[in-house]
């Protein structure tokens, strides 16, 4: 299944990391089956570190060597070790695809989402600490994050631009990538993806439609996220498949692929692959949590170019949303603010849980 998707231009990455899958060979097995990358975020690390005892021995060993270590230092030691091991596991994919895939993502602290300069310095520091060519540093597409993305790409650092929900977010990230490429001596050595969030859009918009409650509004439930994403892919084609990028392609620059994020189905009334099958397209990535990946392998259908289906219907859906009184731009701006807050909360919860664990082990 995963190789079938690769054949039609879409790479599947895993939206999950935990030391157990590194230790027991599960990640290696998934790579053998066609998995081509991995993403992480503060919520994933919170679930992995605070939600298991996988890390107890590593924490104890680190504390013996560094008895005065802070909570943040312990966390970074654990996270960097996992990311390095995952990057090494994907090194073969990275080499076989000539740097197209095989990436592992690590996010800068969500508390830096509104601080351009510190985001830049922290991303550069993490790039040096992890020291793997197939690392992608995740930077949020906030107003402060956009100039950081341009600077970091220009410094030759692979960037996963994240927390994008709207066309405005996407266009700003794509432009930042293009601006960064102008300063890179060897553009073929830099890779970037634009992580566009999908299911959270329906969760937000559905609630607004249900509040309106008309037949026209209710008929739009569960349709807006895919339409929103397809419109962004259309814009991707205009930017990266047109004449403006042709020269950069000739120089070896890679297009900044769209990565579909938040692709698990939140509403149990909807198909479990609602945010996967309709978004299959050339030069795209879909990062899936384990349950959605299992569903895809079990009963997914591969349709080449599905993301291009019904182009007129895409914009009709977005127009109808305006007609029933929903402001998509406002909703997606709120989603980005909420996304930063959620990741920051997960990070803080992780720090609290880790502090308690450190105290217990000490």
User: How do residues 76-101 score in pLDDT, each as one tens digit?
Assistant: 999 999 999 999 999 999 999 999 99
pLDDT at 177: 97
The residues, ordered by sequence, that sit 6+ positions from 80 with a Cβ below 8 Å of its Cβ are 106, 126, 129, 130
User: In this predicted structure, what is the pLDDT of residue 180?
Assistant: 96
**pLDDT for the residue numbered 96:** 97
Residues 6+ apart with CB under 8 A from 76: 129
Task: Please state, in angstroms and rounded to a whole number, the distance separating the CA atoms of residues 187 and 251.
Answer: 7
Q: How many domains does one find in the chain? A: 1
Report d(CA 257, CA 124) in Å as an integer. Answer: 22
Encode pLDDT of 18-69 as tens digits: 999 999 999 999 999 999 999 999 889 888 888 888 899 999 999 999 999 9
The length of the chain is 362
Q: How far is the CA of 13 from the CAs of 16, 38, 56, 359, in angstroms?
A: 9, 5, 27, 35
Coil, strand or helix: which one is 103?
Answer: strand
Whether 79 contacts 111, CB under 8 Å: no
188 vs 331, residue with greater confidence:
331
Catalytic residue among 124, 138, 266, 342: 138
Residue range 184-242, pLDDT digits in tens:
888 989 999 999 999 999 999 999 999 999 999 999 999 999 999 999 999 999 999 98
Domain of residue 47 covers 2-361
Average predicted confidence (pLDDT) for the chain: 95
CA distances from 105 to 101, 127, 315 (A): 12, 11, 32
**CATH of residue 19:** 3.20.20.70
Contacts 24+ apart (CB under 8 A), 168-171: 168/329, 168/332, 169/141, 169/196, 169/332, 169/336, 170/194, 170/196, 170/232, 170/235, 170/236, 170/258, 171/235
pLDDT at residue 244, rounded to an integer: 80
Cα dist from 1 to 5, 11, 104, 285, 286, whole Å: 6, 11, 21, 14, 13
138 as an active site residue: the answer is yes
Q: Are 336 and 205 in contact (CB under 8 A)?
A: no
Residue 296 has pLDDT above 90, yes or no: yes
């Amino acid at each position: 299944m995963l190789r079938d998707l690769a054949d039609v231009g879409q790479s599947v990455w895993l939206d999950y990391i935990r030391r157990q899958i590194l230790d027991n060979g599960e990640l290696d097995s998934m790579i053998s089956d066609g998995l081509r990358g991995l993403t992480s975020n503060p919520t994933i690390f919170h679930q992995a570190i605070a939600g298991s005892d996988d890390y107890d021995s590593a924490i104890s060993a680190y504390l013996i060597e560094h008895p005065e270590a802070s909570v943040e230092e312990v966390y970074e030691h654990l996270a960097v070790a996992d990311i390095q091991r995952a990057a090494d596991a994907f090194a073969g994919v990275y080499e076989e695809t000539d740097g197209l895939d095989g990436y592992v993502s690590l996010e800068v602290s969500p508390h830096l989402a509104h601080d351009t300069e510190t985001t830049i310095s922290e991303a550069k520091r993490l790039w040096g600490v992890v020291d793997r060519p197939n690392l992608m540093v995740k930077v949020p597409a906030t107003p402060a994050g956009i100039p950081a993305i341009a600077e970091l790409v220009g410094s030759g650092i692979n960037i996963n631009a994240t927390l994008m929900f709207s066309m405005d977010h996407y266009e700003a990230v794509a432009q930042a990538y293009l601006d960064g490429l102008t300063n890179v001596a060897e553009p073929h050595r830099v890779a970037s993806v634009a992580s566009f969030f999908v299911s959270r859009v329906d969760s937000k918009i559905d609630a607004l439609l249900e509040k309106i409650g008309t037949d026209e509004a209710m008929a739009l439930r569960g349709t807006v996220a895919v339409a929103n994403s397809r419109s962004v892919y259309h814009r991707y084609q205009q930017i990266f498949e047109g004449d403006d990028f042709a020269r950069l392609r000739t120089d070896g620059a890679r297009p900044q692929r769209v990565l579909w994020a938040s692709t698990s189905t939140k509403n149990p009334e909807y198909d479990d692959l609602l945010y996967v099958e309709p978004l299959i397209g050339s030069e795209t990535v879909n990062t899936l949590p384990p349950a959605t990946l299992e569903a895809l392998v079990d009963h997914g259908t591969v349709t080449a170019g599905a993301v291009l289906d019904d182009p007129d219907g895409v914009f009709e859906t977005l127009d109808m949303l305006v007609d029933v009184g929903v402001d998509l731009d406002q909703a997606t701006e709120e989603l980005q603010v909420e996304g930063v807050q959620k990741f920051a909360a997960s990070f803080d919860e992780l720090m609290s849980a880790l502090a308690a664990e450190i105290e217990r082990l000490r």
